[in-house]
Amino acid sequence: MTPAPNPFPTLATLSKGLNQVLTGNGLPAGPVAVLKRKPLLPGMTFPTEIVTCRLAGDQKLHLFCKYEAGRNHNAHGHRGGVSYEAEIYEGLLIIAAGLSGHADSPASSIGNIHGSNRYVGGQANC
């Protein structure tokens, strides 16, 4: 029996994608180095992991990465793939940023969206 293919991108593919997404995105200029990858298991609809990176100046960044990995979750026009989810996350974070000016808002602890990337062949988004 052939094992299922790994749904996560290789380190080289992930590094290339992160460098494309994070370059010129308000973060320190320089190469992004992947330090650690922690898949979130059991799996969700799409393969997901927390990626710890080192940016220029030894700044660490923890990223929530979700991958299409050739999967599709469209159902009756009301669900979308990872690209659609990225748009939703971005909208929610924009709303949260507007609320974060209030002292009693839990939105002040919410992170940022740094971007998304479609790898060659449309196999993964992050």
pLDDT per residue as tens digits for the range 22-67: 887 677 778 889 999 999 877 667 888 889 999 888 889 888 888 8
The one-letter code for the residue type at 100 is S
Cβ–Cβ under 8 Å, residues 65 and 51: yes
What 3-state class would DSSP assign to 54? strand
The one-letter code for the residue type at 39 is P
In terms of pTM, does the model score above 0.75?
no
pLDDT confidence of residue 43: 66
Using a 10 angstrom Cβ sphere, with 0-12 exposed, 13-18 middle and 19 or more buried, the burial of residue 51 is buried
Cβ–Cβ under 8 Å, residues 21 and 55: no
Cβ–Cβ under 8 Å, residues 12 and 34: no
